[in-house]
Structure formats: structure tokens, C-alpha cells
A and B are shown apart, each in its own frame.
Chain A
Amino acid sequence: MLLAVHDSVIPSVFDGTANTVAVLVLLIEFGMLRASLFRSQIRLYAVQSATVSVLAFVVAAGRNLPDLYVLAAVSFLLKAIVVPAVMLRLLRGAKTEIAGSGALGVASEVVISIVVAAFGFFAIGALGIHSSVLPTTALSLSVAVVLVAFVLMIVRRDVVSQAIGFFSLENGVSMASLVVAAGLPLIVEVAFLFDLLVAVVVFGVLIRVQSNRGKTLSTTGLDRLRG
């Protein structure tokens, strides 16, 4: 927020709304760190995707970019409905409900994530990238989301959380693209989204293979290949 105030002495209602939504996305990312049920993890992802779509909608309305309405709708449909539905369906056959404990305790994970997020936030803020569409704060926040998603993937030891970590990383990148590349042609944006869908299917197939083979969703057995 500080940076936004610094940039334009009086932040407009638009800036305030956009920043609030962006902060929500980051907070949901932190929520994923402590969610211990697979289902709640996937639900949090759905909520996060919906929030990013709301941000796209806000930008479309506030900056008069009609393309973004379409993008907001498509991304809501895919990321807040289809992808979570696919993931939940995959879990139907799985025995376990609870994600195994991470490599660290929740408290240490959150502390590390705060440090990492702060680094991302201030590092991007210092680069002086200004956009006419959204305040720079949103870009800093999206990079923070990407970094926390990496922490999530690193500390969690089950395939579902790691996959969700990757999908939420993509949410962070989508948010960044709203800030700095809002004018990106719609066809390209939609192609990115369908690409994500293909990736989800592949992740799904591999999660299936993994759970059928090992009767578990844990990754602790995946350490044979080394050297």
C-alpha cells in the first residue's frame, strides 16, 4: 500500500479496490499453507482463482477494456469451476483425506513465506515498473504470490498440494499479466488458459498413476532416483 500512496498522493477508489483484491489473493495463498485437508486446499484454490477473475473484472470496468470481461469469464469458468471439479473428482477414489504434514511446521512455513513474500514485494517495488492499468503494488503482490507458491510446493509432501501449489503459481502470473500486460491479445490469453487446462489433465493423470501405484498421495516414496 505504501508504494501506491507514494506513487499517486491520493489513491483513487479504483486503485484501492484493485489493491484490496490483490491482497486477498496473497492472503488466500497463505491460507493454502495451513490448509490440511485436500478438499479445503482445492476450495481455497477455487476461491483464489475467482478472486483473480474479480480483479480482471475490476480492471475491465475501471479501465474500459472490454476484452478483459471475456477473459474474466473464461478464467472464472476454467480455474474456479472446471479445474477444482477435475481435482475433486480425482480425489474421489483416494483413501486419504488429510495432506501429510509438510517438511516444516505450519508456523515456520508461514514465517518463511512472510520473509519470501516481503522480499518479492519490495524487490519488485524497487524496480520502478509502472503501469497505466493497475498500481505497481499489484505487481509486487503477484510476485509475492508466485514466491509463496514455490514455498508451498517445496515444503508439502503430497502430490495434490504440490499440484495446487503450481496452479496457484499460475494464478500469481495471471495477476501479474493483468498489471503489466492487460492489453495482451485475447487469443493469446485464452491460449494460455487452455494450456493450463491441458497441464491440469496431465497432472491429473500422473496423480492417478501415483495413487494407483503407491496407494498413497504422499511424495515421501519418490526419492529413489538420485545421483
Chain B
Amino acid sequence: MTPVVLVVALLPLAAALLCLFMPRGFNEAAAVVSGVVTFAGAIILLPAVLGRTVTIAPFIRIDALSEVFLLATAFLYAIISIYTIGYFARERRDSRHSGVAAPQFNRYSRKFYVGMNIFAWSMLCAPLVNGLAFLWIAIEITTVVSALLVAIDRTAGATEAAWKYVLIASSGLGIALLATIILYYSGAQVLGTSYDLEFDSLLAAARHLPSVPVELAFGLAVVGFGTKVGLFPMHTWLPDAHSEAPTPISALLSGALLATSFYAILRFYQITVTAVGPTFPQTVLLVFGVLSLLLAALYLFGQQNIKRMLAYSSVEHMGILAIGISFGVPIAFVGVLLHVLAHAAAKGTAFMGAGVFIHKFGTKELGQIRGGLNALPWSAPLFLLAIAALGAMPPFGIFRSEFLIVAGGLSNGRNVFGAVFLVLVILAFFGLSISTTRILFLPAVGTPIARGEPSVWMVVPALVGVSALLLLGIHPPELLMALLNHGAVELQGGH
């Protein structure tokens, strides 16, 4: 398995280097090859981690839990790299119309490709690395790279969003570093004063860790990494960054980055639940989860900007992940892990669709996009399906995952919160679907926009995304379900 792991861990970085030095036409191909091969590598790894841990000493460690996040990120990386071809073809045409010189645009596209590949690489590294210290470093790298990518358009909005993002997320990660250090302290009580924070020894020692420092570390970790997950009230950077970044980056931020940061919280959860029992960590996650879900559901009504709307939907889904973990039973954990995969596919598809709308109508304002279904024969229905999936409509993957989460809550006697969860999710669904039906079905005012897709490259990945959602919803492959079950066992603390 070692060569496959190394390919997954290094290929995106190699692609970034190639984009830096090779001629411009090469960028697209390098990103697509890197994305698709990485995803294939992640799939090949799947059978190897069922009930086992692949360790490549001393830095890399993959178990079922990390494999889930690896799959989600690699899948999104693959389809986004395809989408970006179409995105740049359009950007090139637009920039020519607005009089931007070709060399200037080429520099822009090269920077973009280098950044996107490094960004994907750092997100793939986070679940691969062994130990909380390296995990923190990987997540910090995702922050700095993605902040530059948010700022890449250099508009007033992008500058503002990038500044808020880097300042708030870095401060959050400062708190997360404090959490890591305090966990190191509690580990040192058992493992001796000099050890690295690798998972196996920490998990083995977790039962004997002192409870107060572990609880403190977990609280700080939820606040710290939760800043990057986008949990309320640390979510404030999220809608800005998602709406101002170039669309392929928004999709990666929302579908992969938020989940990757949640992965860090899950690692802290694994240790905390073994050390101090389930009540404390689950209560913390429940509070943050319900508040995030509530806030996002309310903000989804009356959003004016199509990408901000999708950003708040991300806050909603991250809240759902936190609530799912707080229900504390394996069936809910399976739901959470499935939700990570399904949300990556659904949110990626939705953002890709939003990008097509923005190109077609020349605006992000929901109020100015009308008659979408007539103008975009493929992208509009696909966008509608992605939104239906995000609203947990059957037969898509998110319906299955949220069903499992609620079933877990009910089976564990959390009836009230199961009900609250359902009400808020339905509220969020209304918020999303009202705006979406308006932009799709209301007739266009003024001069009608010509019917036609901007680029076939922007349609194919959305088709792949919706197919993945259908697969996850109707009949998830057995191997995948086995993986999710193993991941749930690991989260249970039954390592």
C-alpha cells in the first residue's frame, strides 16, 4: 500500500510544482490528472484500512476515519479540477472583453493553479498525518493557502474577505494550538514528558489521562478548530470567504476544508470520550451544533447572494455533523461519516452550478437571476437536484445520512433534540428552496438571456456529483458501508 499512499500524499504537490514551471497549457492537464489519480488512489486504499491501520513510520497513519475524509476531499478535488477547465475558458473570454492583457491573465491562471493544487494537497495531508501536532500544522497550511486563493481576484470584496478569513481563522487555530499543547500536557502524565502526539499511543493511554486538562483541551479544540469548521458563533468569516473566492475555490472550501477541520475535532473527540466519558464532549458538540443549525436555518431566508446562501447552508451542515456526533451511538456516527461524503458531493455540485449561473447572468444577486431553467438546459436542473439533495430530499445521499443521524438520536433517547433537529433542517430546506425556485422558475424580466450552457466542462462534473449523490442515497457500495461502520467503531472509542 505504501506506493499508493505516497502517490496520494505527494502527487498534488508535484502537480503544483509542475504548474509553476511548465507552460501554461499544461496547468489544466496537470490538475485533472492529479485530481483523478488521487481519487483513484483513495479508492484503492479503501479495502486496506477496513479494521486495520496503515502506518508508514513515523508520519503517516490511515484508518477508516481518515479514509472517509480522504475520499471526500479527493473526490471533490477531481471534479473541481475538471470544472476549472470550463471556468477558466470563460474567465479568459471575459477578461479579453474587459481589456486585460493575455500575459497578465496567464499569470493569474498560473497562480490559481499552483494555489489550488497546494490547497488540495494540504487538505489531503490533514487526514493522512499521524499525530495531533502534524494535524494542526496541516490545517494551518490549508488556512494560509486558501486565504491567498480567496484574495486572488484582488477586488475590494475579495481583499476584505481574505483579511477577515486569515485573521479569524488564524486566531482560531491559535486556540487550537493551545488545545493541542494542553492535551500534550495531559498525555505527558502517562506517557512521560517527551513523546510525539501520535494517535496510537494517545488512544492507548487515553483511559488514564487526567480529566480536567483533557476537558479543557477538548473545549478549546472545539472553539479553535470549530472556527474553521464554521460553527456558530465563530462562523463569521465563512460567508464572506465563500462568496468572494473564485467558484472552484468556494466549492473546495465548503465541501472539503470545513470537513477536514471537523476531522480534527473528531480526533480530539476520540481521545476525550475515552478519557472522561461521553457526557462532556457530547454536550459541548450538541450546544455548538444546535446553535449553528438554528442560525444557519434563519439566515437562509432572505439571502441576496447565491454564494452566501450556499455558505450558510454549509454552516447548517456542519451543525448537523456536530449534532450527529453528540447523539453518541454508532448508527449516528455512520450517518455523520456518510454525511461528510454526501455533503462534499452536494455542496460541490451546488457551488459549481452557482458558478455557471454567475457566469451566465453576470451577477451573484439572487434577485437579478430569473428564468434559469430556460437559460441553462443542463446546469439549472442539476443545480435544482443539488439543492434538493442539500435539503435532504430522497433519494439522495444526504437523506440517508440525516435519516441515520435522527434514527441514532431517537434510539439513544434524545427525542427532543431529534425533533429540534428535524424542525430546523426543514426550516433550512424552505429557506434554500424558496430562493432556488425563484431563480429557476420565475420568468425573466427584460431582455431574455440566450439559451445555452457556457461550457460542457462545467456540466460534466456536476453530472458526476449528482450521480455520486444518487449512488450514496440509493445503494451505497458495500465496501463503503463497511468503511463507515469501521469508522463509527473507531469513534465509539472501541479502538
Contacts and interface: CB of A to CB of B under 8 A. Distances in A.
A163 B168 CA distance: 11
Contact of B137 (A129, A169, A176, A192): A192
A163 B140 CA distance: 16
Nearest to B138: A195
Given A150-B171, A166-B170, A195-B141, A183 B194 contact: yes
A69 to B, nearest CB: 15
Interface in B203-253: 212-213, 216, 239-240, 243-244
Contact of B182 (A132, A180, A209, A210): A180
B162 interface: yes
B394 to A, nearest CB: 32
B178 A210 contact: no
Question: Chain B CB within 10 Å — which of A166, A213, A223, A225 has the most?
Answer: A225
A28 B161 CA distance: 30
B171 A153 contact: yes
B162 A206 contact: yes
B193 A213 contact: no
Interface stretch (B31-39, B76-84, B150-158): B150-158
Given A192-B137, A198-B141, A227-B303, A166 B167 contact: yes
B384 interface: no
A223 B159 CA distance: 11
A81 B184 CA distance: 29
A103 to B, nearest CB: 15
B184 A180 contact: yes
B86 to A, nearest CB: 27
A5 interface: no
A80 B229 CA distance: 32
B185 A131 contact: yes
A224 B157 contact: yes
Nearest to B305: A227
Contact of B304 (A150, A198, A210, A227): A227
A159 B163 contact: yes
A104 to B, nearest CB: 19
Given A192-B177, A225-B161, A180 B185 contact: yes
Contacts of A132: 193
A176 B154 contact: no
Interface string B124-143: 00000000011011001101
**Interface of B: prevailing SS:** helix
A163 B167 CA distance: 7
Interface in A202-222: 202-203, 205-206, 209-210, 213-214, 219, 221-222
A182 interface: yes
A169 B163 contact: no
Interface in A136-187: 143, 146, 150, 153, 159, 162-163, 166, 169-170, 173, 176-177, 180-185
A128 interface: yes
A198 B216 contact: no
A221 B163 CA distance: 12
Nearest to B148: A202
A222 B163 contact: yes
B410 interface: no
A107 interface: no
B188 interface: yes
Instruction: Say which size band chain A's interface belongs to.
Output: 35 or more
Given A128-B212, A146-B174, A227-B303, A177 B181 contact: yes
A191 B148 CA distance: 21
Contacts of B134: 188, 191
Given A150-B171, A176-B181, A188 B133 contact: yes
B92 interface: no
Given A209-B154, A213-B156, A173 B177 contact: yes
Given A173-B177, A195-B140, A153 B167 contact: yes
A123 B134 CA distance: 29
B435 to A, nearest CB: 14
Given A146-B174, A206-B166, A199 B140 contact: yes
A209 B177 contact: no
B365 interface: no
A111 interface: no
Contacts of A146: 174-175, 178
Contact of B193 (A182, A219, A224): A182
Contact of A222 (B133, B136, B164, B304): B164
B148 to A, nearest CB: 6
A10 interface: no
Contacts of B490: none
Nearest to A143: B178
Contacts of A185: 194-196
B144 interface: yes
Contact of B174 (A173, A182, A203, A224): A173
A129 B215 CA distance: 12
Contacts of B141: 195, 198
Contact of B151 (A128, A199, A206, A219): A206
A162 B182 CA distance: 26
A173 B181 contact: yes
A127 interface: yes
A191 B137 contact: yes
A127 B178 CA distance: 15
Contacts of A219: 163
B137 A195 contact: yes
A180 B216 contact: no
Given A180-B184, A199-B140, A225-B240, A162 B151 contact: no
Interface of A: 127-129, 131-133, 143, 146, 150, 153, 159, 162-163, 166, 169-170, 173, 176-177, 180-185, 188, 191-192, 195, 198-199, 201-203, 205-206, 209-210, 213-214, 219, 221-225, 227
Given A184-B184, A202-B144, 4 more contacts: A129-B212, A224-B156, A225-B160, A227-B299
19 contacts: A129-B185, A166-B171, A170-B177, A173-B181, A176-B181, A180-B185, A183-B193, A183-B195, A184-B133, A192-B133, A206-B151, A206-B162, A209-B159, A214-B159, A221-B160, A223-B160, A225-B164, A225-B239, A227-B308
Interface of B: 133-134, 136-137, 140-141, 143-144, 147-148, 151, 154, 156-157, 159-164, 166-167, 170-171, 174-175, 177-178, 181-182, 184-185, 188, 192-197, 212-213, 216, 239-240, 243-244, 299, 303-304, 308
The 4 closest A-B pairs by CB, nearest first: A183-B193, A180-B185, A183-B194, A222-B160
